[in-house]
Amino acid sequence: MGFKDAFNRVRLETEIQNQEQLATFLGIKQASVSGAKKRGQFPRGWAEKVAKHYNLSYEWIMEGTEPKRITSNIDQEEIDIIFDQLRFIFANASPADRIKVKSIVNDIFQKTRESV
């Protein structure tokens, strides 16, 4: 998809508002962003990185196809319960158990991000 449209959608939903900020976010040189703009192409890898970080749909960034955001089947009440349980575990667990729980939670978050 065209650079202009994709970049405008990124600007609508993130704090990335100019080419320099996009380059910084992506960890690339601003000249690379300028080059993509000249070619009129927003690279797939850039859209994927922005989408993953901001919980946006790759398809929405690239094509404007709804939905804009990735949705979850978990509601806020369920999230609050999970966090309460984690707080309880951390308050009452040994340091070794805390490390194990933290590792498990990190694995879950990583797998969830990869599946999106």
Is 71 inside any structural domain? Answer: no
Instruction: Specify the 3-state DSSP secondary structure of 13.
Output: helix
Last residue of a domain, one of 42, 63, 84: 63
Q: Are residues 39 and 14 in the same domain?
A: yes
Q: Are residues 59 and 85 in the same domain?
A: no
Q: Are residues 80 and 49 in the same domain?
A: no
Domain span holding position 53: 3-63
Q: How far apart are CA 112 and CA 94, in angstroms?
A: 27
Length of the chain: 116
Q: Are residues 7 and 58 in the same domain?
A: yes
Tokens of 82: 């999970």
Is 68 inside any structural domain? Answer: no
Instruction: Reply yes or no on whether the pLDDT at 115 is more than 70.
Output: no
Is 102 inside any structural domain? Answer: yes
The answer to whether the CB of 9 falls within 8 A of the CB of 60 is yes
- What integer is the mean pLDDT of 87-106? 84
Q: Are residues 20 and 56 in the same domain?
A: yes
Provide the number of structural domains found in the chain: 2
The string of pLDDT tens digits covering residues 17-29 is 999 999 999 999 9
Place 87 in a pLDDT band, splitting at 50, 70 and 90: confident
Place 92 in a pLDDT band, splitting at 50, 70 and 90: confident
The string of pLDDT tens digits covering residues 47-83 is 999 998 998 999 999 999 988 887 666 677 877 788 8
